[in-house]
Structure 1
Amino acid sequence: MGKLSAGKIEKKAKAAAGKAAAVRVSGRVVSKGRTYRLSMRLKGSGGVGEVSAKGGSTFQLLRVKRDLYLKAGTGFWARQEGGKQPARSDIAAARKLKDKYVKVPHQDPAYAQLSGFTDMRSLLDGLLAMEGKRAKGKRAEVAGVRTIRVTAGGGSGGTIDVSLDGAPYPLRLQRAGGAGTVRLSDWNDDFALHAPRRDETVDYGKQISPEQHGG
Protein backbone atom coordinates (compact mmCIF):
# COMPACT_ATOMS: atom_id res chain seq x y z
CA MET A 1 0.00 0.00 0.00
CA GLY A 2 2.69 2.47 1.01
CA LYS A 3 4.38 2.16 -2.38
CA LEU A 4 1.25 2.95 -4.39
CA SER A 5 0.42 6.39 -5.76
CA ALA A 6 -1.81 8.69 -3.74
CA GLY A 7 -4.66 8.20 -6.20
CA LYS A 8 -4.47 4.43 -6.01
CA ILE A 9 -4.33 4.46 -2.21
CA GLU A 10 -7.45 6.64 -2.10
CA LYS A 11 -9.21 4.39 -4.60
CA LYS A 12 -8.44 1.27 -2.54
CA ALA A 13 -9.61 2.99 0.65
CA LYS A 14 -12.92 3.97 -0.94
CA ALA A 15 -13.37 0.47 -2.34
CA ALA A 16 -12.74 -1.09 1.09
CA ALA A 17 -15.20 1.31 2.72
CA GLY A 18 -17.78 0.56 0.02
CA LYS A 19 -17.62 -3.17 0.69
CA ALA A 20 -17.73 -2.89 4.49
CA ALA A 21 -20.79 -4.13 6.36
CA ALA A 22 -20.53 -1.77 9.33
CA VAL A 23 -18.53 1.11 10.77
CA ARG A 24 -18.36 3.48 13.73
CA VAL A 25 -18.21 7.21 12.88
CA SER A 26 -17.11 9.68 15.54
CA GLY A 27 -16.02 13.28 15.37
CA ARG A 28 -17.15 16.70 14.19
CA VAL A 29 -18.86 17.50 10.92
CA VAL A 30 -20.31 20.67 9.42
CA SER A 31 -23.60 20.18 7.59
CA LYS A 32 -25.61 23.01 6.01
CA GLY A 33 -23.67 25.58 8.02
CA ARG A 34 -24.20 23.86 11.37
CA THR A 35 -21.60 21.98 13.39
CA TYR A 36 -22.46 18.55 14.78
CA ARG A 37 -20.52 16.10 16.89
CA LEU A 38 -21.33 12.51 15.94
CA SER A 39 -20.92 9.17 17.63
CA MET A 40 -22.75 6.71 15.38
CA ARG A 41 -22.64 3.01 14.58
CA LEU A 42 -23.83 2.35 11.05
CA LYS A 43 -24.63 -0.53 8.73
CA GLY A 44 -26.72 -1.11 5.64
CA SER A 45 -30.03 -1.50 7.45
CA GLY A 46 -29.69 1.56 9.68
CA GLY A 47 -27.75 3.09 12.50
CA VAL A 48 -27.77 4.15 16.12
CA GLY A 49 -25.91 6.74 18.14
CA GLU A 50 -25.75 10.28 19.46
CA VAL A 51 -25.60 13.67 17.78
CA SER A 52 -24.70 16.92 19.53
CA ALA A 53 -25.51 20.18 17.79
CA LYS A 54 -23.24 23.12 18.59
CA GLY A 55 -25.27 25.69 20.46
CA GLY A 56 -28.16 23.25 20.68
CA SER A 57 -29.08 19.99 22.29
CA THR A 58 -27.78 16.45 22.25
CA PHE A 59 -30.13 13.84 20.85
CA GLN A 60 -30.05 10.16 19.99
CA LEU A 61 -30.97 8.71 16.63
CA LEU A 62 -32.07 5.19 15.79
CA ARG A 63 -32.96 4.07 12.28
CA VAL A 64 -34.16 0.55 11.52
CA LYS A 65 -34.61 0.22 7.75
CA ARG A 66 -36.88 3.18 6.82
CA ASP A 67 -38.12 3.90 10.34
CA LEU A 68 -36.29 6.76 12.07
CA TYR A 69 -36.62 7.46 15.80
CA LEU A 70 -35.34 10.41 17.80
CA LYS A 71 -34.79 10.54 21.56
CA ALA A 72 -33.91 13.77 23.33
CA GLY A 73 -34.05 15.52 26.67
CA THR A 74 -36.42 18.18 27.93
CA GLY A 75 -34.31 21.04 26.56
CA PHE A 76 -34.54 19.82 22.97
CA TRP A 77 -38.31 19.39 23.04
CA ALA A 78 -38.87 22.64 24.96
CA ARG A 79 -37.13 24.51 22.15
CA GLN A 80 -39.38 22.71 19.68
CA GLU A 81 -42.40 23.90 21.64
CA GLY A 82 -41.42 27.46 22.42
CA GLY A 83 -38.35 28.46 20.45
CA LYS A 84 -35.20 29.73 22.17
CA GLN A 85 -37.06 30.93 25.28
CA PRO A 86 -39.72 28.32 26.04
CA ALA A 87 -42.40 29.10 28.58
CA ARG A 88 -43.14 26.94 31.61
CA SER A 89 -45.97 25.27 29.74
CA ASP A 90 -43.56 24.38 26.94
CA ILE A 91 -41.15 22.82 29.42
CA ALA A 92 -43.96 20.89 31.07
CA ALA A 93 -45.05 19.50 27.70
CA ALA A 94 -41.46 18.65 26.83
CA ARG A 95 -41.00 16.63 30.03
CA LYS A 96 -43.54 14.12 28.72
CA LEU A 97 -41.22 13.43 25.77
CA LYS A 98 -38.00 13.15 27.76
CA ASP A 99 -36.18 9.86 27.16
CA LYS A 100 -38.94 8.62 24.87
CA TYR A 101 -38.43 7.67 21.23
CA VAL A 102 -40.35 9.81 18.77
CA LYS A 103 -40.88 8.29 15.35
CA VAL A 104 -40.06 10.88 12.69
CA PRO A 105 -42.63 10.78 9.86
CA HIS A 106 -41.11 10.26 6.39
CA GLN A 107 -42.78 13.45 5.16
CA ASP A 108 -41.35 15.57 7.98
CA PRO A 109 -38.58 17.86 6.64
CA ALA A 110 -36.42 16.75 9.58
CA TYR A 111 -36.48 13.16 8.30
CA ALA A 112 -34.19 13.85 5.34
CA GLN A 113 -31.69 15.80 7.42
CA LEU A 114 -31.54 13.48 10.42
CA SER A 115 -31.68 10.20 8.51
CA GLY A 116 -28.53 11.31 6.68
CA PHE A 117 -26.60 10.80 9.92
CA THR A 118 -27.74 7.16 9.95
CA ASP A 119 -27.16 6.31 6.27
CA MET A 120 -23.81 4.53 6.07
CA ARG A 121 -23.31 4.76 2.31
CA SER A 122 -24.30 8.37 1.76
CA LEU A 123 -22.50 9.56 4.89
CA LEU A 124 -19.26 7.81 3.90
CA ASP A 125 -19.52 9.13 0.34
CA GLY A 126 -19.74 12.66 1.69
CA LEU A 127 -17.00 12.23 4.26
CA LEU A 128 -14.56 10.64 1.81
CA ALA A 129 -14.96 13.33 -0.84
CA MET A 130 -11.84 15.45 -1.34
CA GLU A 131 -10.98 18.35 -3.62
CA GLY A 132 -7.71 19.06 -5.39
CA LYS A 133 -4.53 17.33 -6.55
CA ARG A 134 -3.72 14.19 -4.55
CA ALA A 135 -0.36 13.62 -2.90
CA LYS A 136 1.07 11.14 -0.42
CA GLY A 137 1.67 12.49 3.05
CA LYS A 138 3.40 11.19 6.13
CA ARG A 139 3.06 7.83 7.76
CA ALA A 140 1.57 7.76 11.23
CA GLU A 141 -0.62 5.69 13.55
CA VAL A 142 -4.32 5.87 14.33
CA ALA A 143 -5.36 3.93 17.44
CA GLY A 144 -2.20 1.85 17.17
CA VAL A 145 -2.70 1.01 13.47
CA ARG A 146 -0.04 2.10 10.96
CA THR A 147 -1.37 4.51 8.35
CA ILE A 148 -0.39 6.40 5.22
CA ARG A 149 -1.88 9.81 4.55
CA VAL A 150 -3.32 11.06 1.29
CA THR A 151 -3.81 14.81 0.94
CA ALA A 152 -5.84 16.82 -1.55
CA GLY A 153 -5.05 20.36 -2.56
CA GLY A 154 -2.03 20.43 -0.27
CA GLY A 155 -4.25 19.48 2.64
CA SER A 156 -6.80 22.25 2.22
CA GLY A 157 -8.96 19.95 0.10
CA GLY A 158 -9.05 17.27 2.78
CA THR A 159 -6.84 14.46 4.07
CA ILE A 160 -7.41 10.77 4.63
CA ASP A 161 -5.32 8.40 6.77
CA VAL A 162 -5.49 4.86 5.36
CA SER A 163 -4.61 1.68 7.22
CA LEU A 164 -1.39 -0.08 6.22
CA ASP A 165 -2.34 -3.11 8.31
CA GLY A 166 -4.93 -5.49 6.88
CA ALA A 167 -7.63 -4.05 4.64
CA PRO A 168 -6.96 -0.44 3.52
CA TYR A 169 -9.77 1.13 5.50
CA PRO A 170 -9.86 4.91 5.96
CA LEU A 171 -9.31 5.53 9.68
CA ARG A 172 -9.19 9.32 10.01
CA LEU A 173 -10.50 12.12 7.83
CA GLN A 174 -9.94 15.85 7.84
CA ARG A 175 -12.58 17.40 5.63
CA ALA A 176 -12.01 20.17 3.12
CA GLY A 177 -12.44 23.73 4.27
CA GLY A 178 -12.23 22.92 7.97
CA ALA A 179 -15.54 21.06 7.81
CA GLY A 180 -14.59 18.65 10.58
CA THR A 181 -12.33 15.79 11.61
CA VAL A 182 -13.78 12.28 11.79
CA ARG A 183 -12.53 8.90 13.03
CA LEU A 184 -13.73 5.71 11.37
CA SER A 185 -13.35 2.51 13.38
CA ASP A 186 -14.88 -0.88 14.14
CA TRP A 187 -15.03 -1.71 10.45
CA ASN A 188 -17.23 -4.78 9.81
CA ASP A 189 -18.09 -5.17 13.51
CA ASP A 190 -21.76 -6.08 13.38
CA PHE A 191 -24.22 -4.84 16.01
CA ALA A 192 -27.89 -5.32 16.80
CA LEU A 193 -30.56 -2.92 15.57
CA HIS A 194 -34.05 -3.17 17.02
CA ALA A 195 -37.03 -0.86 16.87
CA PRO A 196 -37.91 0.51 20.32
CA ARG A 197 -40.73 -1.13 22.25
CA ARG A 198 -44.16 0.42 22.02
CA ASP A 199 -43.98 1.62 25.63
CA GLU A 200 -40.73 3.44 24.78
CA THR A 201 -42.23 5.46 21.95
CA VAL A 202 -44.55 8.45 21.85
CA ASP A 203 -46.10 10.50 19.05
CA TYR A 204 -44.87 14.08 19.03
CA GLY A 205 -47.84 15.09 16.92
CA LYS A 206 -46.11 18.09 15.38
CA GLN A 207 -43.53 18.78 12.72
CA ILE A 208 -39.98 18.58 14.02
CA SER A 209 -38.12 21.72 13.02
CA PRO A 210 -34.56 21.26 11.74
CA GLU A 211 -33.99 24.92 12.67
CA GLN A 212 -34.08 23.95 16.34
CA HIS A 213 -31.37 21.28 16.05
CA GLY A 214 -28.41 23.63 16.16
CA GLY A 215 -27.36 27.15 16.91
Structure 2
Amino acid sequence: MTVLRPTSRIRGAVVPLALCVGLASALTACAADPDEGTNGVGKLEATAIEDKAQAAADAAKAVRLSGTLVSKGGTYKLNMRLKDDGAAGSVTTKNSTFELLRVGDALYLKADAAFWEHDDDKPSAAPSSASGSGSDEAGSEAADKLDDMYVKVPEDDPAYKQLRGFTDMDLLLDGLIGLHGDLVKGDHDKIGGVRTINVKGGEDGEGGSLDVSLEGTPFPLRFARGGGAGVVILSEWDKDFPLTEPAKGQTLDYGKQLPRT
Protein backbone atom coordinates (compact mmCIF):
# COMPACT_ATOMS: atom_id res chain seq x y z
CA MET A 1 0.00 0.00 0.00
CA THR A 2 1.30 3.41 -0.94
CA VAL A 3 1.38 6.00 1.79
CA LEU A 4 0.57 9.53 0.58
CA ARG A 5 2.85 11.95 2.33
CA PRO A 6 1.45 15.25 3.58
CA THR A 7 3.60 17.19 1.13
CA SER A 8 2.02 15.27 -1.74
CA ARG A 9 -1.45 16.13 -0.51
CA ILE A 10 -0.52 19.81 -0.35
CA ARG A 11 0.94 19.80 -3.84
CA GLY A 12 -2.12 17.99 -5.18
CA ALA A 13 -4.41 20.63 -3.69
CA VAL A 14 -2.30 23.56 -4.82
CA VAL A 15 -2.62 22.73 -8.53
CA PRO A 16 -6.46 23.03 -8.81
CA LEU A 17 -6.38 25.95 -6.40
CA ALA A 18 -3.95 27.78 -8.64
CA LEU A 19 -6.14 27.03 -11.65
CA CYS A 20 -9.18 28.43 -9.85
CA VAL A 21 -7.32 31.58 -8.84
CA GLY A 22 -6.04 32.05 -12.37
CA LEU A 23 -9.52 31.57 -13.83
CA ALA A 24 -11.02 34.01 -11.33
CA SER A 25 -8.34 36.56 -12.16
CA ALA A 26 -9.03 36.16 -15.87
CA LEU A 27 -12.77 36.63 -15.36
CA THR A 28 -12.16 39.66 -13.17
CA ALA A 29 -9.86 41.12 -15.79
CA CYS A 30 -12.52 40.63 -18.46
CA ALA A 31 -15.19 42.26 -16.31
CA ALA A 32 -12.93 45.11 -15.23
CA ASP A 33 -13.25 47.02 -18.51
CA PRO A 34 -16.88 47.25 -19.68
CA ASP A 35 -15.78 49.85 -22.25
CA GLU A 36 -13.54 47.50 -24.18
CA GLY A 37 -14.50 47.55 -27.86
CA THR A 38 -16.75 50.60 -27.46
CA ASN A 39 -16.48 54.16 -28.76
CA GLY A 40 -14.67 55.11 -25.54
CA VAL A 41 -17.30 57.56 -24.33
CA GLY A 42 -17.90 55.50 -21.19
CA LYS A 43 -14.39 56.34 -19.96
CA LEU A 44 -15.11 60.08 -19.98
CA GLU A 45 -16.33 62.24 -17.13
CA ALA A 46 -20.10 62.76 -16.82
CA THR A 47 -20.06 66.30 -18.24
CA ALA A 48 -18.01 65.20 -21.24
CA ILE A 49 -20.42 62.33 -21.92
CA GLU A 50 -23.36 64.71 -21.93
CA ASP A 51 -21.47 67.07 -24.26
CA LYS A 52 -20.75 64.22 -26.69
CA ALA A 53 -24.39 63.14 -26.68
CA GLN A 54 -25.61 66.70 -27.21
CA ALA A 55 -23.19 67.25 -30.09
CA ALA A 56 -24.27 63.99 -31.74
CA ALA A 57 -27.95 64.92 -31.44
CA ASP A 58 -27.34 68.44 -32.77
CA ALA A 59 -25.61 67.05 -35.86
CA ALA A 60 -28.23 64.38 -36.57
CA LYS A 61 -30.60 64.73 -39.53
CA ALA A 62 -33.43 62.51 -38.27
CA VAL A 63 -34.64 60.56 -35.23
CA ARG A 64 -37.62 58.60 -33.90
CA LEU A 65 -38.90 59.74 -30.52
CA SER A 66 -41.30 57.51 -28.60
CA GLY A 67 -42.44 57.55 -25.01
CA THR A 68 -44.37 59.62 -22.51
CA LEU A 69 -44.06 63.26 -21.49
CA VAL A 70 -45.82 64.95 -18.59
CA SER A 71 -46.21 68.70 -19.04
CA LYS A 72 -48.44 71.28 -17.37
CA GLY A 73 -50.63 68.62 -15.81
CA GLY A 74 -51.13 66.76 -19.09
CA THR A 75 -49.65 63.44 -20.16
CA TYR A 76 -48.68 62.94 -23.80
CA LYS A 77 -47.65 59.67 -25.39
CA LEU A 78 -45.54 60.38 -28.47
CA ASN A 79 -44.48 58.29 -31.41
CA MET A 80 -42.90 60.75 -33.83
CA ARG A 81 -40.37 60.52 -36.64
CA LEU A 82 -38.61 63.85 -36.87
CA LYS A 83 -36.19 65.59 -39.20
CA ASP A 84 -35.16 69.14 -40.04
CA ASP A 85 -37.88 69.89 -42.58
CA GLY A 86 -40.82 68.04 -41.06
CA ALA A 87 -42.23 65.15 -39.06
CA ALA A 88 -44.86 62.43 -39.01
CA GLY A 89 -46.38 60.45 -36.18
CA SER A 90 -48.99 60.35 -33.46
CA VAL A 91 -49.77 61.95 -30.12
CA THR A 92 -52.03 60.33 -27.52
CA THR A 93 -53.58 62.23 -24.65
CA LYS A 94 -55.89 61.06 -21.87
CA ASN A 95 -58.97 61.28 -24.09
CA SER A 96 -57.81 60.91 -27.67
CA THR A 97 -55.16 60.12 -30.25
CA PHE A 98 -54.35 62.26 -33.25
CA GLU A 99 -51.80 62.15 -36.04
CA LEU A 100 -49.54 65.02 -37.04
CA LEU A 101 -47.84 65.57 -40.38
CA ARG A 102 -45.60 68.53 -41.08
CA VAL A 103 -43.98 69.17 -44.44
CA GLY A 104 -41.97 72.36 -44.20
CA ASP A 105 -44.30 74.90 -42.60
CA ALA A 106 -47.47 73.09 -43.69
CA LEU A 107 -48.94 71.32 -40.67
CA TYR A 108 -51.75 68.75 -40.87
CA LEU A 109 -53.83 67.19 -38.12
CA LYS A 110 -55.70 63.90 -38.56
CA ALA A 111 -58.14 62.42 -36.04
CA ASP A 112 -61.42 60.59 -35.73
CA ALA A 113 -64.82 62.22 -35.29
CA ALA A 114 -64.74 61.79 -31.51
CA PHE A 115 -61.67 64.02 -31.34
CA TRP A 116 -63.48 66.85 -33.09
CA GLU A 117 -66.72 66.52 -31.13
CA HIS A 118 -66.49 66.73 -27.35
CA ASP A 119 -69.37 66.96 -24.92
CA ASP A 120 -67.99 70.12 -23.33
CA ASP A 121 -66.52 71.76 -26.38
CA LYS A 122 -67.88 70.84 -29.77
CA PRO A 123 -66.69 72.39 -33.01
CA SER A 124 -68.37 75.74 -33.52
CA ALA A 125 -68.11 75.86 -37.29
CA ALA A 126 -67.94 73.52 -40.24
CA PRO A 127 -64.96 73.25 -42.57
CA SER A 128 -65.16 75.31 -45.75
CA SER A 129 -66.18 72.25 -47.72
CA ALA A 130 -69.14 71.57 -45.42
CA SER A 131 -72.36 73.49 -44.99
CA GLY A 132 -74.37 74.24 -41.88
CA SER A 133 -74.48 76.56 -38.89
CA GLY A 134 -72.80 76.44 -35.51
CA SER A 135 -75.56 74.30 -34.03
CA ASP A 136 -74.99 70.93 -32.37
CA GLU A 137 -76.32 69.21 -35.45
CA ALA A 138 -73.96 71.13 -37.71
CA GLY A 139 -71.11 70.44 -35.30
CA SER A 140 -71.79 66.71 -35.46
CA GLU A 141 -71.96 66.87 -39.22
CA ALA A 142 -68.67 68.75 -39.32
CA ALA A 143 -67.03 66.21 -37.04
CA ASP A 144 -68.19 63.39 -39.30
CA LYS A 145 -66.71 65.15 -42.31
CA LEU A 146 -63.41 65.63 -40.47
CA ASP A 147 -63.26 61.99 -39.42
CA ASP A 148 -59.96 60.43 -40.55
CA MET A 149 -59.19 63.39 -42.82
CA TYR A 150 -56.11 65.60 -42.83
CA VAL A 151 -57.01 69.09 -41.66
CA LYS A 152 -54.51 71.81 -42.47
CA VAL A 153 -53.78 73.91 -39.40
CA PRO A 154 -53.70 77.65 -40.26
CA GLU A 155 -50.40 79.25 -39.26
CA ASP A 156 -52.20 82.09 -37.48
CA ASP A 157 -54.31 79.66 -35.46
CA PRO A 158 -53.44 79.62 -31.72
CA ALA A 159 -53.12 75.81 -31.92
CA TYR A 160 -50.49 75.95 -34.66
CA LYS A 161 -47.55 76.80 -32.41
CA GLN A 162 -48.48 74.20 -29.79
CA LEU A 163 -49.04 71.41 -32.30
CA ARG A 164 -45.95 72.30 -34.29
CA GLY A 165 -43.93 71.88 -31.08
CA PHE A 166 -44.59 68.14 -31.29
CA THR A 167 -43.04 68.10 -34.77
CA ASP A 168 -39.98 70.30 -34.19
CA MET A 169 -36.90 68.08 -33.89
CA ASP A 170 -34.58 70.76 -32.49
CA LEU A 171 -37.14 72.04 -30.01
CA LEU A 172 -37.98 68.61 -28.66
CA LEU A 173 -34.37 67.46 -28.38
CA ASP A 174 -33.23 70.67 -26.72
CA GLY A 175 -35.97 70.27 -24.14
CA LEU A 176 -35.30 66.60 -23.53
CA ILE A 177 -31.59 65.91 -23.53
CA GLY A 178 -30.40 68.59 -21.09
CA LEU A 179 -29.68 67.44 -17.53
CA HIS A 180 -29.88 69.63 -14.42
CA GLY A 181 -27.72 69.73 -11.32
CA ASP A 182 -24.31 68.20 -10.71
CA LEU A 183 -23.77 65.41 -13.24
CA VAL A 184 -22.94 61.92 -12.03
CA LYS A 185 -21.82 58.98 -14.13
CA GLY A 186 -24.17 56.04 -13.69
CA ASP A 187 -24.09 52.38 -14.70
CA HIS A 188 -23.47 50.58 -17.94
CA ASP A 189 -26.58 49.08 -19.49
CA LYS A 190 -28.13 47.95 -22.77
CA ILE A 191 -31.00 49.55 -24.67
CA GLY A 192 -32.35 47.68 -27.67
CA GLY A 193 -29.26 45.48 -27.58
CA VAL A 194 -26.90 48.49 -27.73
CA ARG A 195 -24.44 49.05 -24.89
CA THR A 196 -24.90 52.35 -23.08
CA ILE A 197 -23.50 54.50 -20.29
CA ASN A 198 -25.79 56.45 -17.98
CA VAL A 199 -25.39 60.05 -16.81
CA LYS A 200 -27.63 61.50 -14.11
CA GLY A 201 -28.45 64.96 -12.86
CA GLY A 202 -27.68 64.49 -9.18
CA GLU A 203 -27.12 61.23 -7.31
CA ASP A 204 -30.85 60.48 -7.26
CA GLY A 205 -31.44 61.46 -10.88
CA GLU A 206 -33.84 64.28 -9.96
CA GLY A 207 -32.23 66.37 -12.67
CA GLY A 208 -32.92 63.75 -15.31
CA SER A 209 -31.19 60.60 -16.52
CA LEU A 210 -29.58 60.09 -19.93
CA ASP A 211 -28.35 56.84 -21.49
CA VAL A 212 -25.76 57.31 -24.24
CA SER A 213 -24.71 54.79 -26.88
CA LEU A 214 -21.29 53.18 -26.48
CA GLU A 215 -21.44 51.84 -30.02
CA GLY A 216 -20.67 54.03 -33.00
CA THR A 217 -21.82 57.63 -32.69
CA PRO A 218 -22.63 58.47 -29.03
CA PHE A 219 -26.30 59.24 -29.63
CA PRO A 220 -28.63 59.56 -26.65
CA LEU A 221 -30.88 56.49 -26.60
CA ARG A 222 -33.07 57.05 -23.55
CA PHE A 223 -33.96 60.05 -21.45
CA ALA A 224 -35.89 60.02 -18.18
CA ARG A 225 -37.11 63.44 -17.12
CA GLY A 226 -36.67 64.41 -13.49
CA GLY A 227 -39.56 64.16 -11.07
CA GLY A 228 -41.21 61.33 -12.99
CA ALA A 229 -42.11 63.64 -15.86
CA GLY A 230 -41.77 60.96 -18.51
CA VAL A 231 -39.36 58.63 -20.29
CA VAL A 232 -38.59 58.71 -24.01
CA ILE A 233 -36.65 56.36 -26.27
CA LEU A 234 -34.60 57.88 -29.09
CA SER A 235 -33.88 55.60 -32.02
CA GLU A 236 -33.38 55.46 -35.80
CA TRP A 237 -30.86 58.28 -35.65
CA ASP A 238 -29.97 59.69 -39.09
CA LYS A 239 -32.40 57.33 -40.85
CA ASP A 240 -34.20 59.43 -43.44
CA PHE A 241 -37.90 58.93 -44.23
CA PRO A 242 -40.23 60.38 -46.89
CA LEU A 243 -42.53 63.30 -46.20
CA THR A 244 -45.35 64.00 -48.63
CA GLU A 245 -48.30 66.33 -48.26
CA PRO A 246 -51.61 64.47 -48.31
CA ALA A 247 -53.60 64.32 -51.53
CA LYS A 248 -56.44 66.80 -52.00
CA GLY A 249 -59.00 64.03 -51.60
CA GLN A 250 -57.61 63.33 -48.12
CA THR A 251 -57.58 66.96 -46.97
CA LEU A 252 -60.18 69.38 -45.64
CA ASP A 253 -59.74 73.06 -44.95
CA TYR A 254 -61.37 74.06 -41.69
CA GLY A 255 -60.98 77.75 -42.33
CA LYS A 256 -59.07 80.40 -40.44
CA GLN A 257 -59.19 78.70 -37.07
CA LEU A 258 -59.66 75.16 -35.78
CA PRO A 259 -62.27 74.42 -33.15
CA ARG A 260 -60.96 74.26 -29.63
CA THR A 261 -60.13 70.64 -28.75
| Common fold by TM > 0.5 | yes
Query: Runs in 1 of length 4+ with deviation above 6 angstroms?
Result: none
How many residue pairs align between the two structures? 208
Q: From the superposition, tell whether residues 209 and 94 of structure 1 become closer, same or farther in structure 2 (CA, over 3 Å).
A: closer
Are 1:189 and 2:229 matched, yes or no? no
1:15-26 aligned at under 5 Å gives the runs 15-26=55-66
* RMSD of aligned residue pairs (Cα, Å): 1.7
1:57-68 aligned at under 5 Å gives the runs 57-68=96-107
Q: Which residue of 2 aligns with 1:158?
A: 208
Residues in 1 aligned to 2:142 and 2:258: alpha-carbon distance in whole angstroms: 15
Are 1:171 and 2:243 matched, yes or no? no
Secondary structure of 2:58 counterpart:
helix
> Deviation of residue 82 (structure 1)?
5.3
Q: Which has the higher contact order (CA 8 A, sep 6+)?
A: 1
Gapped regions of structure 1 (runs ≥ 5): none
> Deviation of residue 87 (structure 1)?
5.1
1:100-139 aligned at under 5 Å gives the runs 100-139=149-188
Q: Do 2:50 and 2:199's aligned partners in 1 also have CA atoms closer than 8 Å?
A: yes
1:36-47 aligned at under 5 Å gives the runs 36-47=76-87
Are 1:81 and 2:108 matched, yes or no? no
Structure with more of its chain in strand, by fraction: 1
Q: Do 1:110 and 1:209's aligned partners in 2 also have CA atoms closer than 8 Å?
A: no
Q: Do 2:100 and 2:107's aligned partners in 1 also have CA atoms closer than 8 Å?
A: yes
TM-score by length of 1: 0.92
**Share of identical aligned residues, percent?**
54
Residues in 1 aligned to 2:142 and 2:240: alpha-carbon distance in whole angstroms: 37
> Deviation of residue 157 (structure 1)?
0.8
Letter paired with 1:76: F
> Deviation of residue 97 (structure 1)?
0.4
Residues in 2 aligned to 1:30 and 1:72: alpha-carbon distance in whole angstroms: 22
